[in-house]
């Protein structure tokens, strides 16, 4: 894309190396844990609990409409999309860039970088046409120039040299900020040992299945046996007994074998299965996901709304609110910041039953909060005549009338 090519010649600012934070990128190959397993962002997602947890969070955020609103005196209106100017509502609700990305794709990609690497970065270049791009966190680093201005060094795949982006062009969110407060740390940095234990458990399960649950053992042969003979006997026994196809088969041993003693491990005695469940619970906690959302636990809820409120308040809001605040700073001019703001429509996640939805809409209509046609629009139904009126239960009166003395 010509836009990226034009940035290849960007000039490096005079960097203040003493003030700039030292960024430690998560290596693609991962790091070794005490369990003996190497854990990377990629390998951690082979754990079912981690894979499902990150998708619950990222898919939930990606599914919510991200809209711009404008306040005027006593009214608030949603800013409409403009395909000609490619304003922010268009980028956030129609398509963020000329590559054909969808808003869902942009929000999901950004959230997954944020969860695993601790930093999410969206670049809005100053050149026309207006576009949004997600920057790879593991190829980006914050820098301070000699005047204290913040820059981001980024290495595009198509560029042999790094590109330097001023902070006003980059929306940067972080979780678990480091001591400088300028760079975040992802879930994997704190959950690495937990992921390592779960990967080790997966490997142990695979080994048990590969051996057909055949126990390890000590085999004693008659007389002296060379290393070559011992290897042949071991291979012959493993070929006959290993694998799920050979599980529970009868082993026939000739008279060369003098004695065989199995070395067995009782899974129930070692609480192995319980430790796996405990590790899965820990992984869910790292992502802020309640057990019931992973089909774990026995929590009881009175309604879908109760589940949603817990998930929204405990897990999503700590990610959504900083994004809403940063968008107002980075994507609006100072003049517009006074009357405009961005907000995720959290209600889009609440999947109520038809009865719950009807009850809620009825309450809103009868209390004058919403008109019948607005309810119909939410259900993608056509409006009807006089449906734009607002209604109020006749039993509700103004406070001034209630407090008025008789005869006054």
- For residues 252 and 79, the model is more confident at 79
- Taking residue 327's Cβ as centre, other Cβ atoms within 10 Å add up to 21
Q: What is the pLDDT of residues 238-262, one digit of tens each?
A: 666 655 555 556 566 666 777 666 6
Would you state the structure tokens that stand for residue 108, as one six-digit string?
A: 């999901």
Q: Has residue 9 got a pLDDT over 70?
A: no
| Mean pLDDT score, 268-275 | 63
Q: pLDDT at position 291, please?
A: 79
Mean pLDDT (the chain) is: 83
Q: pLDDT at position 52, please?
A: 95
Helical (H) or strand (E) element with 170: strand 170-174
Q: What is the pLDDT of residues 338-389, one digit of tens each?
A: 999 999 999 887 766 677 777 888 888 888 888 888 888 877 788 888 888 8
Q: Has residue 23 got a pLDDT over 80?
A: yes
Q: pLDDT at position 357, please?
A: 76
DSSP 247-272: TTPPP---TTEEEEEEE---TTTTTH
Q: Has residue 79 got a pLDDT over 50?
A: yes
> What is d(CA 85, CA 288) in angstroms, rounded to the nearest whole number?
39
Q: Has residue 269 got a pLDDT over 50?
A: no
pTM, full prediction:
0.79
Q: Has residue 266 got a pLDDT over 60?
A: no
> What is d(CA 177, CA 186) in angstroms, rounded to the nearest whole number?
9
Q: pLDDT at position 232, please?
A: 78
Q: pLDDT at position 163, please?
A: 92
Q: Has residue 172 got a pLDDT over 60?
A: yes
- For residues 275 and 47, the model is more confident at 47
| 15 secondary structure, DSSP code | B
Lowest mean pLDDT among 45-54, 106-115, 152-161, 326-335: 152-161
Share of the chain above pLDDT 90, in %: 45
| 340 secondary structure, DSSP code | E
| Mean pLDDT score, 270-299 | 79
Q: What is the pLDDT of residues 173-232, one digit of tens each?
A: 999 999 889 999 999 999 999 999 999 888 877 766 665 555 566 677 777 777 887 777
> What is d(CA 220, CA 232) in angstroms, rounded to the nearest whole number?
14
Q: Which of 252, 245, 253, 242 is nearest to 214 (CA)?
A: 242
For 45, residues 6+ apart whose C-beta sits below 8 A from its C-beta are: 51, 54
Q: Has residue 265 got a pLDDT over 70?
A: no
């Amino acid at each position: 894309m010509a836009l990226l090519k034009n940035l290849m010649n960007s000039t490096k600012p005079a960097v203040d190396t003493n003030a700039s934070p030292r960024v430690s990128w998560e290596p693609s190959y991962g790091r070794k844990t005490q369990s003996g397993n190497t854990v990377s962002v990629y390998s951690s997602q082979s754990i079912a609990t981690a894979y499902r947890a990150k998708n619950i969070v990222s898919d939930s955020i990606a599914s919510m409409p991200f809209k711009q609103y404008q306040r005027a005196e006593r009214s608030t209106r949603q800013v409409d999309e403009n395909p000609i100017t490619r304003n922010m509502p268009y980028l956030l609700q129609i398509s963020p860039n000329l590559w054909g990305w969808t808003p869902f794709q942009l929000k999901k990609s950004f959230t997954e970088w944020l969860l695993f690497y601790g930093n999410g970065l969206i670049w809005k270049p100053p050149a026309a046409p207006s576009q949004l791009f997600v920057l790879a966190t593991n190829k980006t680093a914050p820098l301070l120039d000699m005047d204290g201005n913040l820059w981001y060094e980024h290495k595009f795949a198509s560029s042999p040299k790094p590109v330097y982006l001023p902070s006003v062009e980059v929306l940067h969110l972080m979780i678990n900020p480091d001591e400088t407060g300028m760079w975040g740390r992802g879930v994997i940095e704190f959950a690495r040992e937990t992921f390592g234990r779960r990967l080790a458990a997966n490997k142990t399960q695979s080994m048990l299945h590969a051996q057909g649950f055949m126990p390890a053992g000590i085999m004693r042969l008659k007389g002296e046996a060379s290393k070559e003979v011992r290897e042949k006997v071991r291979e012959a026994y493993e070929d006959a007994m290993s694998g799920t196809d050979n599980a529970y088969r009868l082993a026939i041993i000739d008279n060369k074998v003098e004695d065989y003693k199995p070395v067995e491990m009782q899974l129930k005695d070692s609480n192995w299965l319980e430790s796996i469940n405990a590790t899965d619970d820990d992984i869910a906690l790292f992502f802020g996901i309640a057990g019931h959302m992973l089909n774990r636990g026995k929590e009881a809820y009175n309604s879908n709304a109760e589940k949603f409120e817990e998930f929204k308040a405990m897990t999503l809001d700590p990610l959504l609110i900083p994004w809403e605040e940063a968008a107002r700073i980075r994507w609006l001019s100072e003049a517009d910041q006074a009357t405009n703001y961005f907000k995720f429509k959290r209600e889009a996640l609440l999947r109520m039953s038809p009865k719950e939805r009807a009850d809620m809409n009825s309450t809103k209509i009868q209390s004058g909060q919403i008109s019948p046609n607005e309810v119909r629009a939410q259900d993608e139904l056509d409006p009807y005549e006089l449906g734009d009126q607002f209604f109020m239960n006749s039993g509700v009166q103004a406070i001034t009338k209630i407090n008025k003395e008789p005869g006054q």
